[in-house]
Structure 1
Amino acid sequence: MADKAAAQEFDILILGGGSGGYAAALRSVELGFSVGLIEKGKLGGTCLHNGCIPTKALLHSAEIAENAKTASKYGINATFDSIDMTAVNSYKDNIIAGKFRGLQGLIKSKGITVIEGEGKLTSEKTIEVNGETYTGKNIILATGSYSRSLPGLEIGGKVITSDQALKMDTVPKSAVILGGGVIGVEFASVWNSFGVDVTIVEGLPSLVPNEDAAIIKQLERAYKKRGIKFSTGIFFDNVQQNDDGVVVTLADGKKFEADLLLVAVGRGPVTANLGYEEAGLTMDRGFVITNERLHTGVGNVYAVGDIVPGLQLAHRGFQQGIFVAEEIAGLKPVVVDDANIPKVTYCEPEIASVGLTEAKAKDKLGAENVEIQEYNLAGNGKTSILGSSGLIKMVREKDGPIVGVHMIGARIGEQIGEAQLIVNWEAYPEDIASLIHAHPTQNEALGEAAMALAGKPLHG
């Protein structure tokens, strides 16, 4: 019995093996802690199995489809015939399987104890799994999120979420997408490339409403050019299913007919019936409330990732997991600040941003204290080679650092690395203007925008 008890006691016990949970586990063992990692499904969580990775695989298949359609423009004789979803899914699933095997091997090699089953917090030091009680001197909650719906809107039949959309073995002829945020515009991009007649319904005034106004304008223009239809500013009312598909009705009575309705209205925290309230944690609409150091205020219990209010991004959860491990170790790590977390939306054209939008900068700093610079990617050689267009926008505090970078264009997400360094290191335009950016790359457009903002535009 003593040996069994010892095997169920850990320095750090983690509930959830997604991005936040496994990052916390890996960093914890590096710091010399014994770790128990509880997961009811597969290690890697939503990001690996039902989110980031499979979605981006579909987007790459969509990019290949577009390349085939436009090959003659680049002197290549090729034709686009059809989409083979069996082959697309095989490609997607093979990527997931390879990453999953790699993660399993890494976790095992680090000596992390994986506990399979659904866990429930039973005290500030214990979690019950399959009738067994496991103890942690410290507990990290990382139970992730699920695809939400709207009140009264049931998922089933021809009304689906991204979970079902990622596993479809056929391509619909038409689809209505409820929600014009990240998930909605990414699936719209994929399905349009696959030949689907797509309509996005967004109740707020624009697509991707959290992005800068200049980026929104560019995306909506690009989607109109691609033939992706969208209705904004009018909320969803109801959907009816019939033998032919669905009929979606908006609050103003306008109707849309399609083969299916994809509900993409965001993700909710997985916290129900897990013992959080009973253990004394403060909850708000299902989210776990923590202080800035991700402590719940109960014992040595921390929370990370999508269950903590804020941006629901895999890399945020990943960084928070590392942060908490280092916090427990007494290393006093820098707080993970949502304001300067980079974001990428992998539609076509891609969107990438970090820091304050122009509107938020004016609200925070005052309109008179904000300067902006927009660089049209039509002047960028690599963008022209890619047959694309787009924009890079920098937002600066007057006579101060750059506080926001916002970009849209083909593959522009690859430029977010320098952009997040610019914002997080509070760089001045003059600092960036003096750096050498390789030519021809889209990256040099960041340098050009900074040069213009510094008062010495090269091509302006």
Structure 2
Amino acid sequence: MSAFPHRDPRCNQATWELDVSEPNETFDIVILGGGSGGYAAALRAAELGLSVALVEKGKLGGTCLHNGCIPTKALLHAAEVADQTRDSEQFGVKAELVGIDMAAVNSYKDGVVARLYKGLQGLLGGAKNITIVAGAGRLVAPNTVEVDGKRYTGRNVILASGSYAKSLPGLEVDGERIITSDHALVMDRVPASVIVLGGGVIGVEFASVWKSFGVDVTIIEALPRLVAAEDEESSKALERAFRKRKINFKVGKPFEKVEKTDSGVRVTIAGGEAIEAELLLVAVGRGPNTADLGYEEQGVRMDRGYVLTDERQRTNVPNVYAVGDIVPGLQLAHRGFQQGIFVAEEIAGENPAVIDESGIPRVTYSDPELASVGLTEAKAKEQYGTDKIKTYNYNLGGNGKSQILKTTGFVKLVRVEDGPVVGVHMVGARVGELIGEAQLIYNWEAYPAEVAQLVHAHPTQNEALGEAHLALAGKPLHAHA
């Protein structure tokens, strides 16, 4: 197979005329990676009549299904049940929490994953236009992926190779005392104490689970606050809730070193303070899984391991796209889904609307949950000017369903003066379930008065969104404007 470059005036970059006379197999699209972005692209492309080769070295579904979203949320639900059992008397129910049976918890978690995996296998296997290729793929030409010596050529290629749990320089993960989220998901015991290195989404979710299971937890975060990417008021509310739950955390304290002790680990942070625990969970984020996959060799532009794309998910190499965690930005399964669908439609000539990254909903499934979409107050002021931004906080204490659930928190709206709502931020039990309406409010550039006229079912937490918009529209019902 050969290829030669010429100039395309539309993108001012080298493009490739493809010679596809020699390949083993040729497809409309070859997708390298069967995680959220990859399999979504495959399914949508097949619906549009395109032929697809989907290459995956592990299990279809990728990190989200097997090592991320699904198993962690199963653990979080088990933690919620433990808390409800422990606190049941406040609801008039006498129950006793005898303990946490990790074998049974893991059986429940693994059962959820197995059922979803079986369904996904059937969905992809039953699609007549999708060829599933099991094995480690590598980009060996701008239009060709090689798997175990066999080459699959695509008129288009989608890079969707996902991410891995990162560590820090000099911090060796051994899988026993120093672990990542991958190890934490398969633990067969409840540790006595854990230090969580990293106060982002992964770190606070595991801290929340372990505290509910009775573990002594300390979070160490180098940034000034937990979940620092969220609105500052949401971060502060989570910190207050964690203090109440007796989850220890130290923010603005960079990690310096870790030493193994007879009983576990000793972690030293900035200022020389040392903290000891049975385990250290390294939760410092996820890195792009792009090493040794041939991307750079084929001329794909990279930055610190990430694949750079334009707003239409195109790399600098024509007909080569990238989606999901390998593209800079939010590392969320639903972002990968949407990017995969977008690229399939783009290739099919459907001309889909560009994805607004700010319009992608974000949920942290700790206790309490954080959910948001759009701009934080700080980013809105930066973008529109401080004097143009108005905010409103509706306290969940005024919401009937929140009182029933015995949860506290708020709905915060960020709007442009005399303009639309540009950010929605929520804290409280189960607020992640409210993010759908909030996403519509942001993405449809709704004005407070437009949302205020909608009827919200009573009693639901969803009413809190309606009440907040009523107040911001100048006609509060159960709150002060």
For the aligned pair, the TM-score class normalised by the smaller chain equals: over 0.9
Q: Distance in 2 between matches of 1:230 and 1:120?
A: 42
For 2:455, give the aligned amino acid: I
Map 1:431-450; keep pairs closer than 5 Å. 431-450=450-469
Please say if 1:131 is aligned against 2:149: yes
Report deviation, 1:7: 6.7
5+ residue gaps in structure 1? none
- Name the counterpart of 1:189: 208
For 2:468, give the aligned amino acid: A
Counterpart of 1:316 (choices 335, 344, 352) is 335
Please say if 1:358 is aligned against 2:338: no
Q: Distance in 2 between matches of 1:217 and 1:455?
A: 27
Please say if 1:147 is aligned against 2:146: no
Counterpart of 2:440 (choices 401, 421, 424) is 421
Counterpart of 2:105 (choices 85, 88, 97) is 88
- Name the counterpart of 1:114: 132
Please say if 1:293 is aligned against 2:307: no
- Name the counterpart of 2:33: 16
Report deviation, 1:391: 0.6
Counterpart of 2:62 (choices 35, 40, 45) is 45
Map 1:242-261; keep pairs closer than 5 Å. 242-261=261-280
For 1:49, give the aligned amino acid: H
For 1:437, give the aligned amino acid: H
**Contact kept? 2:24, 2:150, Cα under 8 Å:** no
Measured against aligned partners, the alpha-carbon deviations of 1:94-122 in whole angstroms (never above 9, x if no partner) come to 00000000000000111211101000001
Q: Distance in 2 between matches of 1:338 and 1:237?
A: 34
- Name the counterpart of 2:43: 26
TM-score, normalised with respect to structure 1: 0.98
Map 1:200-211; keep pairs closer than 5 Å. 200-211=219-230
Measured against aligned partners, the alpha-carbon deviations of 1:176-214 in whole angstroms (never above 9, x if no partner) come to 000000000000000000000000000100001011111
Instruction: Give the secondary structure class of the aligned counterpart of 1:278.
Output: helix
Instruction: Give the secondary structure class of the aligned counterpart of 2:59.
Output: coil
Counterpart of 1:221 (choices 223, 227, 240) is 240
Q: Distance in 2 between matches of 1:457 and 1:54?
A: 41
**Contact kept? 2:23, 2:153, Cα under 8 Å:** no
Report deviation, 1:339: 1.4
Q: Distance in 2 between matches of 1:381 and 1:326?
A: 43
5+ residue gaps in structure 2? 1-21
Measured against aligned partners, the alpha-carbon deviations of 1:134-165 in whole angstroms (never above 9, x if no partner) come to 11111000000000011111111300000000
Please say if 1:58 is aligned against 2:71: no
Q: Distance in 2 between matches of 1:79 and 1:234?
A: 38
Instruction: Give the secondary structure class of the aligned counterpart of 2:297.
Output: coil
- Name the counterpart of 1:325: 344
- Name the counterpart of 2:186: 167
Report deviation, 1:299: 2.6
- Name the counterpart of 2:17: none
Q: Distance in 1 between matches of 2:158 and 2:236?
A: 41
Q: Distance in 1 between matches of 2:197 and 2:359?
A: 28
Q: Distance in 2 between matches of 1:205 and 1:6?
A: 54
For 1:52, give the aligned amino acid: C
Runs of 4+ off more than 3 Å: none
Q: Do the aligned partners of residues 348 and 385 (structure 1) sit closer, same or farther apart at CA in structure 2, a change above 3 Å counting?
A: same
Q: Distance in 1 between matches of 2:286 and 2:354?
A: 24
Counterpart of 1:97 (choices 96, 101, 114) is 114
Report deviation, 1:330: 0.9
For 1:77, give the aligned amino acid: K
For 1:28, give the aligned amino acid: A
Q: CA RMSD of the aligned region, Å?
A: 1.0
Q: Distance in 1 between matches of 2:309 and 2:338?
A: 16
Q: Distance in 1 between matches of 2:421 and 2:325?
A: 28
Once the two structures are overlaid, the 10-residue window that deviates more, 330-339 or 135-144, is 330-339
TM-score, normalised with respect to structure 2: 0.94
Instruction: Give the secondary structure class of the aligned counterpart of 1:333.
Output: coil
For 1:128, give the aligned amino acid: E
Q: Distance in 2 between matches of 1:391 and 1:159?
A: 36
Q: Distance in 2 between matches of 1:191 and 1:417?
A: 28
